[in-house]
Amino acid sequence: MGLLVAADQVDKVFSLADGGEYIALKGIDLTIKQGEFISFIGHSGCGKSTLLNMIAGLSLPSSGVITLEGKEIKEPGPDRMVVFQNYSLLPWRSVRDNIGLAVNTVYGDLPKGERRSIVEEHINLVGLQAAADKMPDQLSGGMKQRVAIARALAIRPKLLLLDEPFGALDALTRGNLQTQLMRICDENNVTAVMVTHDVDEAVLLSDRIVMMTNGPGAEIGAILDVDIPRPRQRMEVVEHPSYYSLRSEIIYFLNQQKRIKKLRARKTTAIARHGLEKVNLDLGFVPLTACAPVAVAKEKGFFTKHGLDEVNLVRETSWRGVVDGIAGGYLDAAQMPSGMPLWFSLGGHQDRPLPVVTSLTMTRNGNAITLARRFYDQGIHSLADFKAMLQQTPDRQHRMAMVHPSSMHNLLLRYWLAAGGIDPDLDLTLQTIPPAQMVVDLRAGSIDGFCVGEPWNQRAAMDGVGFTIATDREIYDGHPGKVLGVREDWANAYPNTHIALTKALLEACRFCSEPENEPEIREILSRRTYLATPMEYIQLGNPQATVCERNPALREYAHHLFFGDGANRPSRTEHLWHMTQMARWGDVPFARNWLEILERIVRVSVYSTAARELGLLDEKFTRGTIQLFDGTRFDAEDPMGYLNSLAIKRDITIAEVILDQPQAIAA
C-alpha cells in the first residue's frame, strides 16, 4: 500500500471574537496508506472534525502541511468526498438525480450514457434500485445516508471522508449500513477516514484507530492497530481474541481523557503558605494494601501537620493512570512501583526520557505469585512442577498477568520464571491488567495466574480460586515495593514542598508499622475511597492461618514492611538492579551513564533532610550485593557482567541516556 495522505506538524488555531485565540489542534503527525480505513475517536471538542475538514480542504492548517499523493491540500476537490451526518441531499431531486448531479459535475466530458451507467452502478452498489426515483422526503434515514455514500463513491474519489455518517440512525439501520460500507470498501479498495464516537463501530470498520486527546491543543494520544483480518463479519469480530482488548484500550483512553478534563478544570495555581512553595497537591495512588501510608497521611492529618493543607488523593484504577497523570502534569506526585521513576527517566513512556525522581521508599515486600486453584489440585506446588506442566502442554497458550512493566510484580514474576528455566516471553504470555481485575480474570479462566500486591493474592486464596505458589520474601526479601515519585522539574520548582511531602509520608510509614494501629489502618483501607474491599481480605502482617494452609507450607508470607532499619531510605543499588532487569527484558535501554542517572533520580538528600527534621536516625540502608532465591548475587560494581551472566534475556540495548537539564517549572 502506497502513501496517500500525510499530515506533518499540523496546528489549527481559531481567532476569537475578543481578539484571543483558540488552539484546536497541535502538532498533528499522521500518514494514511492507500486502501486503509482510519477512524478518529475522542470526546467532543478534541478536533476530530476539524482534522477531517482540513484533509477535505474545507479548512486550512494554521501551520504545518497536509498532502495528498505528495501535493499540498489547499482547497476542496473531487478526489476527496465527504459524507456528513445530515445527508445533505437536494430535496427537490430524486435519488438518481442527486447522484447524477455529482457525476455530471465531475465527469461532464464523458458521454451521457457512460455517466448514466456510473449512476446506476452506484445505486445498485448501495441497494437502492427500488427507490431510485423517490424524493428524499420519501426515504428513511438509512436510505438517505446510502444515497450520500453512493453520491460520494460515484465520482471515484481517492479518499472517502465520513463525519459521523451513522450517528443519527437507529441501531439496526446503523449496523446494516456499517456492513454495507465495509463490503464496499473491501471490494473497491476504498481509502476512508471516519470520525466517530462509537467504540464498537471503530473496531469493526478500522485498520487503525486514531485516539485524540482533549482540546484545546488536542493531539494524537495514541494510534491502535486493529489486527482483525478482513473480510470481517460482525459476530466473528466479537469473537476475535483482540476484540475486547482493543475495545478496553479505547474505553480506558476515553475515560482517562474525561478524568484529565476534570483534573484540568479543578487545577489551580500553586498556593504558597507556611514557607512552602505549594500546599495544594494532587497525589495519585492505586488501591492496594501498599497505599496505606498515603491513606494514613490523609486520614490522620500528617499532610496538614507538615503544612500541606490541600492534598487531594486521586484514586487510579491502574498504574497506567498514574503514568498518564505524571506525564501530563495532572498529578503533582504519586505512589509508584519502585521501578517507575527509572522507567520514566530511561524513556519507557513513549520512548521519550522524562526525568522522575524518588526520595522515599514507602513499602517493602507485599507481593506474591498466585496460580489458579486447578493447578494446585493437579499437584503443581512448585516452580519445577509448573515448568513440567508447561512442557507437557506445549500446544496450549498459558497466560499470566502483572500490573506494569516497571513494577516489581513484573520483575519478580519474570525473574522467578527465568530462574526455573521458563522464558516469560516464549513459553507463556504475560499481559498487563489492573490489580483489582486479577481475581476476576483468574476466576473466569482468562488467566492462569498473576503476580500482584496484596490484598489480591489473599483474596484469591480465601475465595478458593487461587493459591500462593511463591512470595516475594522467598524470591527477593526486602525488595522495594512502592515509592514516592515526582517529576524532576516539579521537585526543582517546589523543593520545600517536596521535603514536606516526604516527611508526611515517612511519618505515615512509621504509623503503619506499629502493630497497635493495624485495626484502624485496615478499617481505613477498607473504605470505598481506598480499596473498597472487606477488612478480612486486608492484612498488614502475617495473615490468618487459613490463608496459608497449603502443602507444602510456605516458608515466608508476603507481608509489608513500612518502616524501620533504614527501610525507607532510597537505595541506588536497588534502583540499579531495577535498571538491569528492565533492560534484560527489553523495556528500556541499559544506561551507559548509569551512575549519572542514579545520581539524578534517587534523591537521598531529600530523604535525609526529611528524616533529620522528624528526629529520626538517618540510618544507612546500603546493599553491596543483593541476594536472590536462586543463589544469584547482584554486584553493583559490575552490572554489565551481571546482565551478561543471565541465561534467559532479550537482546539488551546499551545507550547513553540524555536527560533534559534540570529545569524549574513556573510556580
Radius of gyration over every alpha carbon of the chain, rounded to an integer in angstroms = 29
Q: What's the pLDDT band for 667 if we cut at 50, 70, 90? A: very low
Q: How confident is the model at residue 548 (pLDDT cuts 50, 70, 90)?
A: very low
Residues 292 and 439 in one domain: yes
Q: Mean pLDDT highest for which of 194-203, 246-255, 415-424, 445-454?
A: 415-424
In a domain, residue 359? The reply is yes
On whether both 364 and 490 belong to a single domain, the answer is yes
Order of strands across the sheet with 480-487?
Answer: 310-315, 280-285, 333-337, 480-487, 356-365, 560-561
Q: Are 354 and 371 contained in the same domain?
A: yes
Does 250 reside within a domain? no
Residue 406 lies in a domain: yes
Q: Residues 344, 326: one domain?
A: yes
Tens of pLDDT, residues 341-392: 999 999 999 889 999 999 999 999 989 999 999 999 999 999 999 999 999 9
Q: Does residue 190 belong to any structural domain of this protein?
A: yes
Residue with cell 481475581: 439
Is 615 found in the same domain as 516? yes
pLDDT at 98 over 50: yes
Which CATH number does the domain housing residue 55 bear? 3.40.50.300
The CATH number of the domain where 626 resides is what? 3.40.190.10
Residue 246 lies in a domain: no
Confidence of residue 665 (pLDDT cuts 50, 70, 90): low
In this structure, are 383 and 442 located in the same domain? yes
Domain span including residue 48: 1-79+157-241
Grid cell digits, residue 389: 506442566
337 & 472 share domain:
yes
Q: How many CB atoms lie within 10 A of CB 608?
A: 16
**Structurally, how many domains does the chain consist of?**
3
Q: 604 and 561, same structural domain?
A: yes
Q: Are residues 529 and 388 in the same domain?
A: yes
On the question of pLDDT at 557 being above 80, the answer is no
Same domain, residue pair 280 and 234: no
* Tens digit of each residue's pLDDT (9 = 90 or more) over 120-170: 887 887 788 888 888 988 888 878 878 888 887 787 888 888 888 777 667
Residue of 218, 251, 265 whose CA lies nearest to 44:
218
Split at pLDDT 50, 70, 90, the class of 499 is very high
What's the pTM? 0.78
Domain match, 443 and 308 both: yes
The string of pLDDT tens digits covering residues 378-428 is 999 999 999 999 999 888 889 999 999 999 999 999 999 999 999 999 999
Cα separation, 267 vs 332, in Å, equals 10
Q: Which helix (H) or strand (E) holds 470?
A: strand 466-471
For the segment 280-284, the average pLDDT, to the nearest whole number, is 96
Domain presence at residue 233: yes
Domain final position from 114, 136, 156: 156
261 inside domain: no
